[in-house]
Amino acid sequence: MKLTLDRFYILRYPRVYAKLVDEIRTSFTSVDDIRMEYLSSCSYLKACVDETLRVAPAGPGELAREVLPGGLEIDGTYIPKGTHVGCTGWSIMHSEEYFGDPWVFRPERWIVDPATGVTESDVGRARACFNPFMIGSGNCVGQKIAMEELLITVARTLYRMDVRLASGDTLGGGSPELGWGARDQNHIVLKDAYISIKNGPMVQFRKRIV
pTM of the model: 0.83
How high is the pLDDT of residue 2?
47
pLDDT score recorded for residue 6? 65
6, 60, 114, 127, 186 from 117: Cα distances, Å: 25, 29, 5, 17, 24
Q: For the chain, 210 residues long, give each residue's pLDDT as a single digit of tens.
A: 445 556 788 988 999 999 999 999 999 999 999 999 899 889 999 999 999 999 888 776 777 789 999 999 988 999 999 999 888 888 888 999 999 899 999 999 999 999 999 999 999 999 998 888 777 666 777 778 888 999 999 999 999 999 988 887 777 787 888 777 777 877 877 777 666 667 767 888 899 887
Give the alpha-carbon dihedral of 157, 144, 51, 59, to 10 degrees: 110
3-state SS string over 15-35? HHHHHHHHHHHHHCCCHHHCC
- What pLDDT score does 160 carry? 95
Domains of the chain, with CATH numbers?
2-202 (1.10.630.10)
pLDDT score at 3: 52
Which pLDDT does position 194 carry in this prediction? 64
Return the pLDDT at 196.
67
Alpha-carbon distance of 197 to 191, in angstroms, equals: 5
pLDDT of residue 146: 85
Residues 6 or more apart from 93 whose CB is under 8 A from it? Answer: 54, 55, 57, 99, 102, 129, 130, 131, 132
Query: What is the rounded distance in angstroms from the CA atom of residue 208 to the CA atom of residue 201?
Result: 21
pLDDT at 201: 78
